[in-house]
Structure 1
Amino acid sequence: MHDSFKRLLEASNNLSQEEIARRIDESPQTLTNWKKRGVSKAGSLKAAAEFGCSANWILSGVGESSGSDVSRVAGWDSSTQLESDEVEVPFYKDVLVSCGSGSLGEIINTETRKLRLSTSTLRRYGVDPANALALTAFGNSMSPVINDGATVYVDIGRKNVIDGKIYAICHGGLFKFKYLYRMPMGGIRIVSANSDEYKEEVLTQQEIIDQEFEVVAYAFNVQNSLP
């Protein structure tokens, strides 16, 4: 296996080849080629943006695995001065979004705290700062992509489903993070990363209405807690 592909696996927390391909919008065959010849520059840039690491490190192993453009996360209060390239993101730390069986909760308008996020990160993901907020995940249905206690940044302005992307959803009053896929006739497929323990669900258009299914936001960045 080529060294640059090994570094890509490390950057993606050793996700499967199929999962990496899905996350960075490449075909599994492309990743097979990377195993033999190394990751392309374009591929390294896409992977770096998706997994929050340095493209140069993926390609050559030079430098730190964390890139200088990775989102910076820090607590914020009224006495903290923002840097010129930072914005304030509402952080609903106590509104838990399930990565398991679900948690009854409600995203309220009264924010209790904020996080700081670099404008370069928001530009990279095409997120309007006014639509960005952070939520706390719990449970293990999306592990290892989203671990228990992770801070997940979401875009509440992006609700159109792109197959294989992660969204915050409300399903029967329960907030969850899940992979979503569009199905024929207006249906939706709901998939967990930990598929061994959490089986996928498929809802028809009528079941979407009956079960009060709603896409709340697109999850564009994950900050997993350190062990």
Structure 2
Amino acid sequence: MKKNKTCGARFKMLLEEANITTTAFAEFLKINKPQNVHNWYTRGVPHYRMEQVARRLSVNSEWLKIGEGPKNASELRLCDESGNTFDAQAIRGTYRVIEPTDVELPFYKETVITPGSNKTHVIKDPGQSIRLPRSDLDSLEINHADAICARMIGNSMTEKIDDGSIVAIDRGLTQIVDGEIYAIEHDGMLRIKYLHRVPGNAIRMRSHNSAEYPDEVFRTAQIEEQNIRVLGWVFWWSTLNKRRPAIPFL
């Protein structure tokens, strides 16, 4: 997570000037752990939150980041990710969320490399995207640019993630935490599994539907030979009811 430690003192000064505690500011940003915001005093504001924090405090983000340029953003027209502009000074002291509250996530899918081929790969689908609440990503400290979506295929995770469900993936977290759910590209196949580390740099893939899908263990050589790559941590999934109930007595 890229940070600029030198901005911590400026961030602290701004909160003190506005008489805002780190706890209150964390609540405003929908960050569940106020200590994370307090740590910005010494560690600096995370790079991916710099623009957001600058907008909330109505200052120039370059000034907050490196201490150069004008401090106040009273004459600055700011642009958010969707291209909407607003006057930063207009929200000084009110902390009203006026920019879009959703983040649009690109959609990835497994598809054949060439027509008629049995070989697949995982690529971006330019025709699809999914919108998730910005606050949900921020609460998990997920960089918006790292978040993607894909669709669950098959019943290996049934009763947890049903076939056809959409999953959201944080590509910024690829380190395996035992028992967490990850998206994996396995020789071109998109798989959603629980992952566990195994001694010898091996990994275990576990399905929720373990009765039909027994555990799979892959040693280091197999991981390389079978092109197994962790795409990221699965942090959200949808479940759509498979049928609409029939209305009786009609």
Q: Tell me whether the two structures share a fold, i.e. TM-score over 0.5.
A: yes
Aligned to 1:90: 106
Aligned equivalents of 1:133 and 1:108: distance in 2? 11
Aligned equivalents of 1:105 and 1:146: distance in 2? 22
**Secondary structure in 2 matching 1:122:** helix
Aligned to 2:128: 113
Please, which runs of 5 or more residues in structure 2 have no aligned partner?
Answer: 1-31, 33-81, 83-97, 112-117, 243-250
Aligned to 1:188: 203
Deviation readout 1:88-140 (Å, 9 max, x if unpaired)? 11123x547xxxxxx96433345212221111110222211101111111210
Aligned equivalents of 2:209 and 2:189: distance in 1? 18
The structure that has the greater radius of gyration is: 2
Aligned equivalents of 1:104 and 1:181: distance in 2? 27
Query: What is the 5 A alignment of 1:70-149?
Result: 84-92=100-108, 95=110, 105-109=120-124, 111-149=126-164
**Secondary structure in 2 matching 1:185:** coil
- State the identity %: 35
Deviation readout 1:44-84 (Å, 9 max, x if unpaired)? xxxxx9xxxxxxxxxxxxxxxxxxxxxxxxxxxx9xxx962
Aligned equivalents of 2:224 and 2:110: distance in 1? 24
Root-mean-square deviation (CA), in Å? Answer: 2.4
Q: TM-score, normalised by structure 1?
A: 0.57
Aligned to 1:174: 189
Please, which runs of 5 or more residues in structure 1 have no aligned partner?
Answer: 1-48, 50-77, 97-102
**Secondary structure in 2 matching 1:113:** strand
**Secondary structure in 2 matching 1:199:** coil
Aligned equivalents of 1:185 and 1:203: distance in 2? 10
Deviation readout 1:168-208 (Å, 9 max, x if unpaired)? 11223211000000111111011000000001011111221
The answer to whether the 8 A contact 2:119-2:188 is kept is yes
- For the pair 1:161 / 2:171, whether they are aligned, the reply is no
Decide whether aligned partners of structure 1 residues 158 and 184 sit closer, same or farther in structure 2, where only a CA change above 3 A counts.
Answer: same
Superposed structure 1 runs of 4+ greater than 4 Å apart: none
* Aligned match for 1:209, one of 198, 217, 224: 224
Greater relative CO (CA pairs within 8 A, separation 6+): 1
Deviation readout 1:19-65 (Å, 9 max, x if unpaired)? xxxxxxxxxxxxxxxxxxxxxxxxxxxxxx9xxxxxxxxxxxxxxxx
The answer to whether the 8 A contact 1:150-1:224 is kept is yes
Q: TM-score, normalised by structure 2?
A: 0.52
* Aligned match for 1:197, one of 205, 212, 217: 212
The answer to whether the 8 A contact 2:122-2:188 is kept is no
Residue correspondences, number:
141
